[in-house]
């Protein structure tokens, strides 16, 4: 007689067998080349992660670019720059288009290379030979020349901060032919050639004059251009008052060191700047950036400023949608989630870990949907007491403080099934490197538990948010399952669209395909 345990009848739809292995050697589902490229582009920062080094990520992205059509590469570059706010990967994809997909390069360049840092990234990638060329070439050179000849003085000054290559290096490479006298004088000043100071644009001319006599208000040049000068506390306070929102957020400890907060009223001034809702919207700040600023703030940062960072974090979540129905959020708090969310970059590594982003997403949805159930997991589900009335930061820190253990993506679904729970949306935030629940054959444990859950909740949907790109998932893409990568506000937008049943059958790849070139 046949083995009844082995050949028992399957309930529900036939489940797909797991045909790939993740980095832990456990069964998983692989993505299509387009989906993998989208995943890497929206989450990959070309830095080492818990499982994959920077070079491995670069090799993977270049290999995927050879498998998909050039139009999709172009759309992915635009998507991850305009909606994901990524930097290195869109510059890399634009560089790939200089060889494959040249017809898309002009428009992609105009939409991706929007500031001096992106311009320098693009040049650095081309000159490295990573995409198969070391020379800039005629078309890229003309696009760079056009950027230099159309950029405002402010844009050029901002671009002048940074090296490898510096903006001066770029100017020497492409030899722009400026039409305006001020631009000609600026380029000469930039590369150290003789120039007419009276022909310099106003801010640059004021900077040169202020270097000679720094007694008045500092000119509105990039913060980094002033740091090498010998400034007193009052001058630093002027810089803080004039500085942009992002600059102030990133330099709170610098202001402490230079005595800014010892000046009467400056703590309140900086706090008001940080909690300015319009400035937060203009800055396009990620909630995790505010979490990073709060964590990095030293003891000398006044309480009113630290509280303003919390206020700013709450304001930055304004676009988080209120999901209809019953929602369950499952943040992964296992050991592999301890790596920096943007990868290992030595001393420049962010203090925000993958676990912090997972916790932040869970806390944000709990804040907007107070009936949300939060089930953090590692080897199994971990019990944690969260109060929906607490701030997002308070709940996020409670979740992120758990940390450690193996990865078992099926654990929260198994818990829901044991309790015969009802829900309309289950959101799993993980790196998808599940191994504790590894199966010998057939579907993954996550896929099986989800199928059981769906038998009780036939209209339910599962969303797997991948914090770092590894190219596999524990739940295969289908009409009720969405796999998405990223940690920007765009994740919430796509999540809301999917929950409302408004995504096309291709799900996330379809969102990128809708980009108009």
Residue with tokens 């301890």: 338
* pLDDT over 60 at 11, yes or no: no
Residue with tokens 């929260």: 412
2-11, 121-130, 500-509: which range is least confident on average? 2-11
* pLDDT over 80 at 384, yes or no: yes
Q: Residues with Cβ < 8 Å from 88, sequence gap 6 or more?
A: 44, 45, 46, 121
pLDDT at 64: 94
Is residue 141 helix, strand or coil? helix
Q: From CA 127, how far away is CA 137, in angstroms rounded?
A: 10
Q: Residues with Cβ < 8 Å from 216, sequence gap 6 or more?
A: 210
At 177, give phi and psi (nearest 5°): -110, 90
In Å, how far are 88, 156, 185, 292, 491 from 114, measured between CA atoms?
Answer: 13, 12, 23, 25, 22
CA dihedral sign, ordered 440, 441, 443, 448? negative
Q: From CA 94, how far away is CA 338, in angstroms rounded?
A: 31
* pLDDT over 90 at 121, yes or no: yes
pLDDT at 3: 53
pLDDT at 295: 84
Is residue 384 helix, strand or coil? coil
Nearest in space to 310 (alpha carbons), one of 388, 246, 399, 396: 396
- Mean pLDDT for 222-240 is 86
- Which value, in Å, is the radius of gyration of the alpha carbons in the chain? 25
pLDDT in tens, 35-84: 999 888 887 666 555 545 668 788 889 999 999 999 999 999 999 899 88
pLDDT at 47: 54
- Residue 222 in tokens: 């990039």
At 330, give phi and psi (nearest 5°): -120, 90
In Å, how far are 94, 371, 386, 454, 457 from 421, measured between CA atoms?
Answer: 47, 13, 19, 11, 9
pLDDT at 204: 97
The pLDDT mean for the chain works out to 89
pLDDT in tens, 239-291: 899 888 999 999 999 999 999 999 999 999 999 999 999 999 888 777 878 88
Q: From CA 29, how far away is CA 445, in angstroms rounded?
A: 12
* pLDDT over 50 at 1, yes or no: no
- Residue 450 in tokens: 């989800």
Prediction pTM value: 0.86
Q: Residues with Cβ < 8 Å from 53, sequence gap 6 or more?
A: none
* pLDDT over 70 at 514, yes or no: yes
CATH topology of domain 319-513: Rossmann fold (3.40.50)
CA dihedral 219, 225, 231, 232 (to 10 degrees): 70
pLDDT band at 2 (very low <50, low <70, confident <90, very high): low
Q: Residues with Cβ < 8 Å from 471, sequence gap 6 or more?
A: 30, 31, 36, 39, 40, 60
- Top pLDDT among 194 and 227 is at 194
pLDDT in tens, 30-41: 999 999 998 888
Q: From CA 170, how far away is CA 164, in angstroms rounded?
A: 10
pLDDT at 10: 46
pLDDT band at 126 (very low <50, low <70, confident <90, very high): very high
H or E element in which residue 105 lies:
helix 105-112
Give Cα 174 to chain centroid, integer Å: 31
Nearest in space to 498 (alpha carbons), one of 507, 490, 489, 506: 507
């Amino acid at each position: 007689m046949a083995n009844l345990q082995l050949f028992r009848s399957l309930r529900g739809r036939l489940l797909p067998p797991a045909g790939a292995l993740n980095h832990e050697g456990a069964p998983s589902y692989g993505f299509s080349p387009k989906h993998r490229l989208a995943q890497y582009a929206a989450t990959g920062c070309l830095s080492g992660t818990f499982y994959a080094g920077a070079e491995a990520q670069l090799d993977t992205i270049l290999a995927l670019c050879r498998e998909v059509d050039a139009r999709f590469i172009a759309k992915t570059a635009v998507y991850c720059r305009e909606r994901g706010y990524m930097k290195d990967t869109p510059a890399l994809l634009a560089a790939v288009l200089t060889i494959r997909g040249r017809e898309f390069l002009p428009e992609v360049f105009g939409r991706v290379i929007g500031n001096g840092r992106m311009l320098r990234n693009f040049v650095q990638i081309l000159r490295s030979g990573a995409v198969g060329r070391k020379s800039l070439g005629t078309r890229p050179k003309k696009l760079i020349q056009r950027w230099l000849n159309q950029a405002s003085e402010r844009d050029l000054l901002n671009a002048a901060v940074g090296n490898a290559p510096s903006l001066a290096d770029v100017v020497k490479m492409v030899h722009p032919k400026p039409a305006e006298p001020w631009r000609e004088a600026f380029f000469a000043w930039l590369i150290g050639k003789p120039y007419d100071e009276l022909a310099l644009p106003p801010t640059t001319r004021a900077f040169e004059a202020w270097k000679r006599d720094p007694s008045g208000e500092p000119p509105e040049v990039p913060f980094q251009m002033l740091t090498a000068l010998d400034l007193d506390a009052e001058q630093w306070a002027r810089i803080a008052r004039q500085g942009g929102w992002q600059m102030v957020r990133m330099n709170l400890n610098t202001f402490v060191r230079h005595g800014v907060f010892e000046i009467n009223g400056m703590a309140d001034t900086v706090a008001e700047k940080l909690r300015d809702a319009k400035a937060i919207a203009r800055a396009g700040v990620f909630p995790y950036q505010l979490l990073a600023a709060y964590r990095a703030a030293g003891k000398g940062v006044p309480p009113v400023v630290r509280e303003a960072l919390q206020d700013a974090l709450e304001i930055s979540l304004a676009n988080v949608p209120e999901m209809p129905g019953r929602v369950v959020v499952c943040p992964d708090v296992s050991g592999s989630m301890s790596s920096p969310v943007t990868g290992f970059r030595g001393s420049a590594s962010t203090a925000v870990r993958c676990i912090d982003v997972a916790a932040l997403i869970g806390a944000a949805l709990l804040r907007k949907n107070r009936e949300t159930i939060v089930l953090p997991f590692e080897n199994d589900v971990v019990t944690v007491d969260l109060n929906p009335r607490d701030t997002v930061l308070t709940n996020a820190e409670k979740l992120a403080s758990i940390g450690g253990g193996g990865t078992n993506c099926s654990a929260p679904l198994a818990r829901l099934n044991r309790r015969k729970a009802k829900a309309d949306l289950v959101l799993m935030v993980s790196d998808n490197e599940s191994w504790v629940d590894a199966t010998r054959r057939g579907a993954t444990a996550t896929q099986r538990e989800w199928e059981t859950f769906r038998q009780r909740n036939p209209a339910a949907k599962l969303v797997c948010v991948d914090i770092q790109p590894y190219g596999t998932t524990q739940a295969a893409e289908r009409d009720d399952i969405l796999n998405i990568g990223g940690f920007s506000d765009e994740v919430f937008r796509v999540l809301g669209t999917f929950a409302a049943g408004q995504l096309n059958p291709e799900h996330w790849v379809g969102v990128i395909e809708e980009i108009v070139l």
